[in-house]
Structure 1
Amino acid sequence: MNRALDGVNSVKVKLGLLVAISVVVASVVAAIGAGSGVGFWLSIPVTVALALGVTQLLAVGMTSPLREMTAVARQMARGDYSGRVTATSSDEVGDLARAFNRMAEDLAAVDRQRRELVANVSHELRTPLTALCAVLENLVDGVAEPDPVTLGTALAQAERLSALASDLLDLARVDAGHAELTTTAVPVRALLERAVAEARVVGRAVTYEVSVTPAAMTAPVDEPRVHQLVANLLDNASRHSPVGGVVRISAVDLPEGWRLEVTDQGPGLPVSLRDRVFERFGSFTDTEGGGGTGLGLAIARWVTDLHGGTIGFIDPEPGATGARVRVDLPREPRQRTQPPSTDLSPTTQEPVMTQPPLPPYPTSRREPVPPPPSPPQVPTTDPLFGSFWPEVNLSGNALAVVASVAVGVLAALLFPDYNLGLGTFLVLLAAGATVLRFSVNRRSPFTLACAVLCALLASTVMIRDAEWVVVLCLFAGGAVCVAGLVNGRTLPAFVLAGISWPLAGIRGLPWLGRSLREITGARNAAVLRTVVLSVLGLIVFGALFASADALFREWADAVLPELELDSVILRAFITVAVGGAVLAASYLALNPPRVEPNGGPARPVAQRYEWLAPVLLIDGVFLVFLGAQVTVMFGGHDYLARTTGLTYAEYVHQGFGQLTVATALTLLVVWAAARKAPRTTREDVAWLRGSLGLLCTLTLVVVGSALYRMHVYQDAYGFTRLRLVVDVFEGWLGLVVIGVMVAGLTAGAAWVGRAALLSGATALLLLAAINPDAWIAEHNVSRYAETGKIDFDYLRGLSADAAPALAKLPEDVIDCALVREPRDDAWLEWNLGRHRAESILKEHQGDAELTGSECERAAVVVR
């Protein structure tokens, strides 16, 4: 699938197809969901997830060559030229990838030649240097006399070193392009005879024969260069000819130029080595034991290239032995510095060989070269998330995918048919166990504490019937879960962790692809086929037997969920949503982001007053507020009514929300001041602790005032869910303030963030433990007994958790609060609150028409 667009030869067209396919997939999925009654809250995330998945599958083939090129370029920067790019597409990116591979091959050849040149030069220099050092050492130690023979030996070794240096300099000039041609009309016979005369000086026991046709032939060449070429060929031929052998050198005039051949009577050269000997240090020395530097033929080839000619070994004449080298030079030399290549003629589309192709480096006597390794895959989303969320050596995990899908299927089987209860808890428990199984931080005490707290929060679905507190607990459980997965410490880290969970659906797409390839790999293919065939057989034969036998159909209906089209679509959406959420959390567990800031502590301000003045002003505002509270306390309700025109109940209700916000903002002020205040002297620390300690103390007084205000208001107007939750929230803020004060005294605040998170989740868990609906109902019942004031409309909206408390109402009004019908829950939706209320509701089933007027007369509602 990731190579589906390789046949398209334009990046623009690919992008258009990618957008079109993604939009079509999203539209079709959304239309199917809407037509089957799938809720908006479920349809949108599933649609987005599927569209992103299709985009990832199609886009990975478009961008993988670019990522591979980046990886290979990094390898090249480290000196490794073995990497290659997979180039399967036919668009501009594919062309770039193929050009990149050709460049990599050229660079690899150049690097290999460079390494071999250094190694071979070192080898060639070591032999004469060793011999020369030995001779000189014998002379110094007196072992040998400085006679002509000894000095001649030393001179021969020095001359060999000189020849090697000269050859290397000549070759370097040619490689650098500094060997310019200076052509003149040169008599060929005179040129060859001078070269033969110099060859005879070496003293090898061979005979040279020169033949030029026509005898007066001249050729436009660079005489020093061609003389060097001929001398190198004669030196090579004389070294490999037997004693008394004949070396023939001939020149022939041709219509397009002239030809030079040198033939010896030596052992000859195998066809497999005819190209290799022209490489640097690729001489006969490797096979025949000759001498020389191994650069002569390489220089001869480069001289030929400079003139635009060709050189190569050919078969000897019939009946003859030895090596035969042929050089063809053009009549008009045309300098060529680039190596020969094979191209395609634009008119004939057939290969046009400008020169016999030569290997870039020796290939004989080497083992077959394996194909270059593929570069490491760089995830597509790496550039998007950068250092915040790296992914290092994270392999695919088939078990995580299978387990997440299994949780999604379990949710699809239970959620549509059963209310919140035991089945929901089993799904949540399976999801939590799956995520914890793959967490890299599962041995951390904080992560384990979060896991236990999450399980307790999830258990509220089968303990309480009040959905509002269950939903709060589930949200808190999710927050604690992701905080534990990333092993965070601070409030910003917890916020980033919460954001990272949905982002993991994007960040983990490459990992998902690797996991799916692992599932469909050869190792798991048999298991996958078995599962598919088993499910297919179960569906086919089960449907046949269900249609053939009524009793079998009844049994199947009791075991299997409803399988109508709308139900199947809904279950598919639930599977994708729940399974995707668990899979994203599993990726978050396997590869948590770096949520903790790594920039170090904040830079403190230069002057103390920059932070101290605002803090002292806020302290002053708090003191003035507390003065107003004291005035109200001692002035009484009459003074308050006379001054503000409000009753005390109205007065306390008016300011509770503002005090809650002030408490939260105080924590922000303390955090900012602690980060910006310098601590270089004892006075700095004293001012910091004194001013912030005073602010925290005043904040605790504000918390107490807020809680007292809410208590007074509840006595006047009754208890509700919102008022109870706000009470718990304000109390938790007060607890956090105490923690901040302790941290300030001990100069260690690393534990405050985790303590605040765990204490907040624990407070919510305790709220669920006290059965809030029953607590609210009980206080309203007590208030009714004392004042006769009650709101039956509000009480009828409470959950079944409140039934035991409402059953304490007088018999004449109890049916006003208990008007819901009892229901028989299946075992998978068992819930403690509904179970306890079942018998009470069956006993007190009121008739709304008969009791409505009585309820209105019995209730004195004060909201």
Structure 2
Amino acid sequence: MVHVPRWQLVRARPEVLAAAALAGVVAATALRLDRPGIGWLIAMTGVVIAVAAVAVRQDRPLDWPWALAAVALMGVGTVRAAEWLFVLCALASCGSLSLAVTRVRTLHGILLGGMAIPFASLSGLGWVGRGLAALGRRSGHRVNPRLVASVAVSLGLLVVFGALFAGADAAFAELLLSAVPKVNGGNTFLWLFLFLAVGLSTVGACYLLAVPLPAVNQSSPARSSLRRLEWALPVGALVLLFAAFVAVQIVTLFGGSQYVLRTANLSYADYARGGFWQLAAITVLTLVVIAVVARLAPRETERDRLWLRILPGALAVLTLVVVASALTRMWAYQEAYGFTVMRLLVQTCELWLGAVYLLVLAAGVRLRGQWLAQAVVGTAVAALLGLAAINPERLIAEQNIARSVHNHVLDSYYLGGLSTDAAPALATVDAPWARCRLHGMARDVLEEDWRSWNLSRSAAREQVLDARC
């Protein structure tokens, strides 16, 4: 008997088609691609509501914490104008929506589930086609897929060859223009693109509800391929190395800038910038070592479990000190040379890694980490939302302006490239460059409609329009 995959046996129900169409219309109406704004929040909320309605009908509930995280992350564009921050949050929002419909728990499940919707959108095309065909048969009108494909090909050929003929002859071009209805081609294309992109994404999310991923939630039993001495020896050596480094670093960790200035041939750049990246790499690599040990180390006896708690636990604790050292170095470097978006981002990443090590320590107490993968991704989402909450560009501008009061060089050119998030800080500076930068933001606050409304630009409107360059 020929085995037929389950995805070939199911078809999209009418509510899926309605949900995809509704989400596509909402997104095409609300989205403005050139800037963050409330339209992005409306579009994501529409997708989540549409998918949730389908989930209720199919009795496959969403993982609501991830669904709410998707909405919250996309909502950052409503309150912050920094485009780099919104891009990060938008990508994380799409990944959170994917996790909401896949309901995965394991590490490899999250890696697959976080990227599942784009692939499921392609797989869902046949699913939707079968649903349309069934809907046609139910209404008494049989849909011929070959006829639909023929019509689509015909339209494509007419568009391509018509454009070429119009470019070859002005009279024919005028005839086409008189025959074709007057529409804004750019806006129409954008509307269709958004409708199809968001509609297909909604189809992909609903497809994952109807045809779940393979059994990615089942953690395969840990296969012990190492004896206790075989893993304890390298990990113990690392613990001794980390302990020696921490002992040497105690002075520099708590000595601060005065120690750096007193040390021969040691500048802020040598101490902070160079050392930070090595320590950040050590932090990430140590996490890999602990993960491998947790996977391969035996835990049959009580002594096995005791050593598995002590050595990786000690390594995690010492790594937390390394994280603190890296953060101290980056803070010292920023105080010396100024605050930038990149420096604040890497500092946030290092803080997140510190939180991950705390989670690892918590999982190591009972040697049970089924919840760890979701918690790690959850803390990453929380870190992004926390970064948005502190308004990073305003913080950067305020810190650099405060440094200039103490005779530090102020990089006005860099501050001039920040978004309207930094406008309140720039408004406190009575200098021509600050007024000119505020004046230059006028275009951002004036070229705005309801789709791109943003709290940051709205709050800065008065300061920007009153500025005189």
- Do these two structures clear the TM 0.5 threshold for a shared fold by scoring above it? yes
Displacement of 1:610 in angstroms is: 1.6
Provide, for residues 168-216 of structure 1, a one-character-per-residue CA deviation record: whole Å limited to 9, x for no partner: xxxxxxxxxxxxxxxxxxxxxxxxxxxxxxxxxxxxxxxxxxxxxxxxx
Query: Is the CA contact 2:51–2:205 (under 8 Å) kept in the aligned structure 1?
Result: yes
**Aligned partner (choices 815, 822, 837) of residue 435 of structure 2:** 815
Provide the C-alpha distance between the structure 1 equivalents of 2:127 and 2:247, rounded to a whole number of angstroms: 61
Question: 2:288 aligns to what?
Answer: 668
Question: 2:102 aligns to what?
Answer: 486
Question: 1:424 aligns to what?
Answer: 40
Query: Is the CA contact 1:441–1:487 (under 8 Å) kept in the aligned structure 2?
Result: no
Query: Is the CA contact 1:696–1:737 (under 8 Å) kept in the aligned structure 2?
Result: yes
Provide, for residues 782-803 of structure 1, a one-character-per-residue CA deviation record: whole Å limited to 9, x for no partner: 1122224211111111111110
Displacement of 1:393 in angstroms is: 5.6
Provide the C-alpha distance between the structure 2 equivalents of 1:441 and 1:726, rounded to a whole number of angstroms: 42
Displacement of 1:487 in angstroms is: 1.2
Question: 2:208 aligns to what?
Answer: 588
**Aligned partner (choices 241, 266, 270) of residue 621 of structure 1:** 241
* Cα 1:827/1:505, change in 2 over 3 Å: closer
Please show how residues 338-377 of structure 1 align to structure 2 within 5 Å.
Answer: none
Provide the C-alpha distance between the structure 2 equivalents of 1:599 and 1:762, rounded to a whole number of angstroms: 26
The runs of 5 or more residues in structure 2 that have no matched partner are 142-181
**Aligned partner (choices 319, 322, 347) of residue 699 of structure 1:** 319
* Cα 1:717/1:452, change in 2 over 3 Å: same
Provide the C-alpha distance between the structure 1 equivalents of 2:419 and 2:116, rounded to a whole number of angstroms: 35
Provide the C-alpha distance between the structure 1 equivalents of 2:97 and 2:464, rounded to a whole number of angstroms: 37
* Aligned-partner residue type, residue 743 of structure 1: A
* Cα 1:443/1:579, change in 2 over 3 Å: closer
Larger radius of gyration: 1
Displacement of 1:577 in angstroms is: 2.1
Question: 1:18 aligns to what?
Answer: none
* Cα 1:496/1:524, change in 2 over 3 Å: farther
Query: Is the CA contact 1:792–1:816 (under 8 Å) kept in the aligned structure 2?
Result: no
Provide the C-alpha distance between the structure 2 equivalents of 1:505 and 1:409, rounded to a whole number of angstroms: 17
Question: 1:411 aligns to what?
Answer: 27
- Count residues in correspondence: 422
SS of residue paired to 1:794: helix
* Cα 1:461/1:648, change in 2 over 3 Å: closer
Please show how residues 24-423 of structure 1 align to structure 2 within 5 Å.
Answer: 70=2, 378=4, 382=5, 390-391=6-7, 394-415=10-31, 419-423=35-39
Provide the C-alpha distance between the structure 2 equivalents of 1:640 and 1:417, rounded to a whole number of angstroms: 52
SS of residue paired to 2:456: helix
Displacement of 1:650 in angstroms is: 2.7
Question: 2:329 aligns to what?
Answer: 709
Provide the C-alpha distance between the structure 1 equivalents of 2:34 and 2:347, rounded to a whole number of angstroms: 33
Question: 1:741 aligns to what?
Answer: 361
Provide the C-alpha distance between the structure 1 equivalents of 2:60 and 2:395, rounded to a whole number of angstroms: 37
Provide the C-alpha distance between the structure 1 equivalents of 2:342 and 2:59, rounded to a whole number of angstroms: 37
Question: 1:84 aligns to what?
Answer: none
Question: 1:803 aligns to what?
Answer: 423
Query: Is the CA contact 2:8–2:127 (under 8 Å) kept in the aligned structure 1?
Result: no
Question: 2:451 aligns to what?
Answer: 828
Provide the C-alpha distance between the structure 2 equivalents of 1:429 and 1:606, rounded to a whole number of angstroms: 49
Provide, for residues 431-457 of structure 1, a one-character-per-residue CA deviation record: whole Å limited to 9, x for no partner: 12222333468646xx11111221111
Provide, for residues 327-347 of structure 1, a one-character-per-residue CA deviation record: whole Å limited to 9, x for no partner: xxxxxxxxxxxxxxxxxxxxx
Displacement of 1:831 in angstroms is: 0.7
* Aligned-partner residue type, residue 806 of structure 1: L
Displacement of 1:491 in angstroms is: 2.3
* Aligned-partner residue type, residue 678 of structure 1: P
Question: 2:71 aligns to what?
Answer: 455
Please show how residues 489-500 of structure 1 align to structure 2 within 5 Å.
Answer: 489-500=105-116
SS of residue paired to 1:740: helix
The runs of 5 or more residues in structure 1 that have no matched partner are 1-68, 72-377, 383-389, 526-561, 847-863
Question: 1:604 aligns to what?
Answer: 224
Provide the C-alpha distance between the structure 2 equivalents of 1:595 and 1:722, rounded to a whole number of angstroms: 39
Provide, for residues 758-783 of structure 1, a one-character-per-residue CA deviation record: whole Å limited to 9, x for no partner: 12101111111111111111111111
Q: Which runs of 4+ in 1 moved over 6 A?
A: none
* Cα 1:476/1:652, change in 2 over 3 Å: same
Provide, for residues 45-77 of structure 1, a one-character-per-residue CA deviation record: whole Å limited to 9, x for no partner: xxxxxxxxxxxxxxxxxxxxxxxx836xxxxxx
SS of residue paired to 1:748: coil
Provide the C-alpha distance between the structure 1 equivalents of 2:140 and 2:394, rounded to a whole number of angstroms: 53
Question: 2:87 aligns to what?
Answer: 471
Displacement of 1:402 in angstroms is: 2.8
Question: 1:437 aligns to what?
Answer: 53
Provide, for residues 669-708 of structure 1, a one-character-per-residue CA deviation record: whole Å limited to 9, x for no partner: 1111011111122221111111011100011001111111
* Aligned-partner residue type, residue 570 of structure 1: L
Provide the C-alpha distance between the structure 2 equivalents of 1:524 and 1:752, rounded to a whole number of angstroms: 53
Displacement of 1:649 in angstroms is: 3.7
Question: 1:842 aligns to what?
Answer: 465
Query: What is the aligned-residue RMSD (CA, Å)?
Result: 2.6
Question: 2:144 aligns to what?
Answer: none
Question: 2:374 aligns to what?
Answer: 754
Query: Is the CA contact 1:398–1:518 (under 8 Å) kept in the aligned structure 2?
Result: no
Provide, for residues 505-559 of structure 1, a one-character-per-residue CA deviation record: whole Å limited to 9, x for no partner: 343233122221134334396xxxxxxxxxxxxxxxxxxxxxxxxxxxxxxxxxx
Provide the C-alpha distance between the structure 2 equivalents of 1:484 and 1:727, rounded to a whole number of angstroms: 29
SS of residue paired to 1:520: helix
Provide the C-alpha distance between the structure 1 equivalents of 2:259 and 2:402, rounded to a whole number of angstroms: 27
Provide the C-alpha distance between the structure 2 equivalents of 1:595 and 1:659, rounded to a whole number of angstroms: 37
Provide the C-alpha distance between the structure 1 equivalents of 2:140 and 2:196, rounded to a whole number of angstroms: 23
* Cα 1:597/1:811, change in 2 over 3 Å: closer
Query: Is the CA contact 2:102–2:209 (under 8 Å) kept in the aligned structure 1?
Result: yes
Provide the C-alpha distance between the structure 1 equivalents of 2:209 and 2:410, rounded to a whole number of angstroms: 50
If asked which structure has higher relative contact order (CA below 8 Å, sep 6+), I would say: 2
* Aligned-partner residue type, residue 569 of structure 1: F
Query: Is the CA contact 1:781–1:808 (under 8 Å) kept in the aligned structure 2?
Result: no
Provide the C-alpha distance between the structure 1 equivalents of 2:100 and 2:194, rounded to a whole number of angstroms: 26
* Aligned-partner residue type, residue 695 of structure 1: L
Name the structure where strand makes up a greater proportion of residues.
Answer: 1
* Aligned-partner residue type, residue 838 of structure 1: R
Provide the C-alpha distance between the structure 2 equivalents of 1:731 and 1:669, rounded to a whole number of angstroms: 19
Query: Is the CA contact 1:407–1:579 (under 8 Å) kept in the aligned structure 2?
Result: yes
Query: Is the CA contact 2:327–2:350 (under 8 Å) kept in the aligned structure 1?
Result: yes
Provide, for residues 197-245 of structure 1, a one-character-per-residue CA deviation record: whole Å limited to 9, x for no partner: xxxxxxxxxxxxxxxxxxxxxxxxxxxxxxxxxxxxxxxxxxxxxxxxx
Query: Is the CA contact 2:23–2:199 (under 8 Å) kept in the aligned structure 1?
Result: yes
* Percentage of pairs with the same residue: 35
Displacement of 1:711 in angstroms is: 0.6
Question: 1:501 aligns to what?
Answer: 117
SS of residue paired to 2:403: helix
Q: Return the TM-score normalized by structure 1.
A: 0.46
Query: Is the CA contact 1:395–1:511 (under 8 Å) kept in the aligned structure 2?
Result: yes
* Cα 1:419/1:737, change in 2 over 3 Å: closer
* Cα 1:392/1:695, change in 2 over 3 Å: farther
Question: 2:190 aligns to what?
Answer: 570
Question: 2:199 aligns to what?
Answer: 579
* Cα 1:406/1:690, change in 2 over 3 Å: same
